[in-house]
Amino acid sequence: MNTGAAVLALERVAVTLGERPVLREVSFRLETEQFCALIGTNGSGKTTLLRAILGFIRVQSGRVDRAAGAVGYVPQKITLDPGLPLRACDVVALGLDGARFGTRLPSKARAARVQEMLRAVGAEEFAEQRVGALSGGQQQRVLLAHALVRRPKLLLLDEPLANLDVGSTAEIVALLRRLSHEFGAAVLLSAHDMNPLLPAVDRIVYLANGCAVSGKADEVVRTEVLSRLYGYHVDVLRVHGRVVVVAGARDESQDALERDPVHTITVP
């Protein structure tokens, strides 16, 4: 890469699925140990963007540059059958050799790495339990360990906070903040509800209308910035210490204005 300390750099990326343009012009960069939130409502293209970064989807135009090395990935909506005969430690081990053919013989180094990752995410106590029987927050820790076991410099997570309770959400956010420093990894996490995230992240990438704007929260989450991004007027309001993004009607000449909340987020 020729972008200095960047682990990930996107330049004017466009993606079309079928005949529908999903991403039109997305540019941002992510540096070592940065914890970055990818913000967008459902259907805004967050998953498409992550899959384009991974190379699963072809980019029609623009560039995606990644630093050399492994990339950790936690996909969206993994459903684990309670009867699945895999322990938490087995799932983490698959991150080391799951792509290889044949059976891997146990080794001290391999077992030590698995235990190290389980310990790093606070999952040692349920390492021997069936992963399908764990709670949502516990499963998320195991999946994080799986994604981190090859020590990637870039960690991508697609809606990892969905369906978690408030306590588990806070724990996972704090864990990711710590791991980004401990492992020297850049973290890009997609979400539509940013309330639990923004106090912890270094930067955000806000995705809407096929385009993106990136920067610190107080640089991006502003009426004039988001109005330009959406292509119509939105209001950024402060309500009881929170920030609420509210979209007005696209045609303000109409007698009645829609006042639908885009989503609410908290800024530091």
- pLDDT tens-digit map of 42-84: 889 999 999 999 999 999 999 999 988 889 999 987 777 788 8
Q: How far apart are CA 96 and CA 160, in angstroms?
A: 21
**Within a domain: 60:** no
**Distances from the Cα of 74 to the Cαs of 21, 133, 141, 144, 174, in angstroms?**
25, 19, 11, 7, 17
Do residues 115 and 29 make contact, with C-beta atoms less than 8 angstroms apart? no
Structure tokens belonging to residue 24: 């039109």
Which position has the higher pLDDT, 113 or 238? 113
**Within a domain: 127:** yes
The DSSP bridge partners found for residue 72 are 155
Q: How confident is the model at residue 242 (pLDDT cuts 50, 70, 90)?
A: confident
- Domains held by the chain: number: 1
Count each helix (H run) and each strand (E run) in the chain, helices first.
7, 12
Q: How confident is the model at residue 257 (pLDDT cuts 50, 70, 90)?
A: very low
Task: Mark 94-111 as b/e (b = at least 16 C-beta within 10 Å).
Answer: ebbeeeeeeeeeeeeeee
CA nearest to 207, candidates 262, 268, 266, 267: 262
**Within a domain: 144:** yes
Helix (H) or strand (E) holding 31: strand 20-31
Count the Cβ atoms, other than its own, within 10 Å of residue 166.
9
Pairing state of beta strands 154-158 and 186-191?
parallel
Backbone angles phi, psi at 225, to 5 degrees: -70, -50
Q: How confident is the model at residue 98 (pLDDT cuts 50, 70, 90)?
A: low
Residue-level pLDDT at 264: 42
CA nearest to 262, candidates 37, 42, 11: 42
First to last CA, the chain: 32
**Distances from the Cα of 174 to the Cαs of 82, 89, 216, in angstroms?**
27, 22, 18
- State the chain's mean pLDDT as an integer: 85
Count the Cβ atoms, other than its own, within 10 Å of residue 116.
15
**Within a domain: 136:** yes
**Within a domain: 216:** no
**Within a domain: 202:** no
The gap from C-alpha 239 to its chain's centroid, in whole angstroms, comes to: 26
Q: Is the pLDDT of residue 259 over 80?
A: no
Q: How far apart are CA 15 and CA 103, in angstroms?
A: 38
* Tokens 């704007």 found at: 213
Provide mean pLDDT across the span 110-116.
91
The angle, 0 to 180 degrees and rounded to 10, between the axes of the packed helices 88-97 and 136-148 is 30
For 220-235, how does the pLDDT look when each residue is reduced to its tens digit (9 = 90+)?
Answer: 989 999 999 998 999 9
Q: How far apart are CA 83 and CA 239, in angstroms?
A: 45
Q: What share of the chain in percent tops pLDDT 90?
A: 57
Q: How confident is the model at residue 146 (pLDDT cuts 50, 70, 90)?
A: very high
Q: How confident is the model at residue 101 (pLDDT cuts 50, 70, 90)?
A: very low
Q: How confident is the model at residue 199 (pLDDT cuts 50, 70, 90)?
A: confident
**Within a domain: 103:** yes
Do residues 230 and 247 make contact, with C-beta atoms less than 8 angstroms apart? yes
pTM over 0.75: yes
Domain that holds residue 123: 81-150
**Within a domain: 248:** no
